[in-house]
Amino acid sequence: VVVDEHFGVKLPDNIPLDAAAPLLCAGITVYSPLKHFGLSKPGIHLGIVGLGGLGHLAVRFAKAFGVKVTVISTSISKKEEAIDRLGADEFLLSTDSDQMQGAMGTLDGIIDTVSAKHPLLPLILLLKTNGKIVMVGAPDKPLDLPVFPLLLGRKLIGGMKETQEMINFAAKHNITTDIEVIPMDYVNTAMDRVAKGNVKYRFVIDVGNTLKSS
């Protein structure tokens, strides 16, 4: 593939091509709001909703920035992964009303990576005054947005320059994507697995070794 140099990103030698590929999509999708909305500063307490392709990278970038991270999930099975493997500081089970009640007003910001319809009010209530919630997931159905809590609390993707900055930061802090490399003829099966949420955390297609020449 030949592209204009303006649209090319230089990958440092210590970053593997396959694990770096999703950084150019998922990586910049979470890196950009962390920087743009002031959520990358040490001392910030950040909530990350969902621990999938976007969420696991959001945790890694946030921790590399020195941010305190709480992963928020509907699945208790994600707790060990979030804390022991990805280095999150805390885990919040969003289906546990006691946990959610106890965490109200504790977060400076939230990165919401969930692509399914889900309630926003419980998340908004976790924010401090002037807290920020940034949506980077893409639900296929409209979400209900309660306005009154926003009034009380005063509460996407970057360009080429920021993408290069993100890649350099990822290389410096050894941040890559958890991937499953697949051949071209597996794409339809992979799409079915994505729809079922059965991927950890990104598929990468090995085009060079599996695309048949015409």
Q: Say which CATH number the domain at 96 has.
A: 3.40.50.720
154 part of a folded domain: no
Query: What is the per-residue pLDDT across 80-91, written as a single tens digit (0 to 9) for each?
Result: 999 999 999 999
When pLDDT is cut at 50, 70 and 90, the band that residue 110 belongs to is very high
Same domain for 64 and 37? yes
Identify the pLDDT of residue 113: 96
118 part of a folded domain: yes
The answer, yes or no, to whether residue 1 has pLDDT greater than 90, is no
Same domain for 181 and 140? no
152 part of a folded domain: no
Print the domain residue range for 175.
162-205
Domains of the chain: total: 2
pTM of whole model > 0.85?
no
Identify the pLDDT of residue 143: 81
Whole-angstrom distance, CA of residue 128 vs CA of residue 83: 23
> From start to end of 22-177, where are the E strands?
45-49, 68-73, 90-93, 107-112, 127-135
Residue 10 CB: number of other CB atoms within 10 A? 9
Same domain for 101 and 43? yes
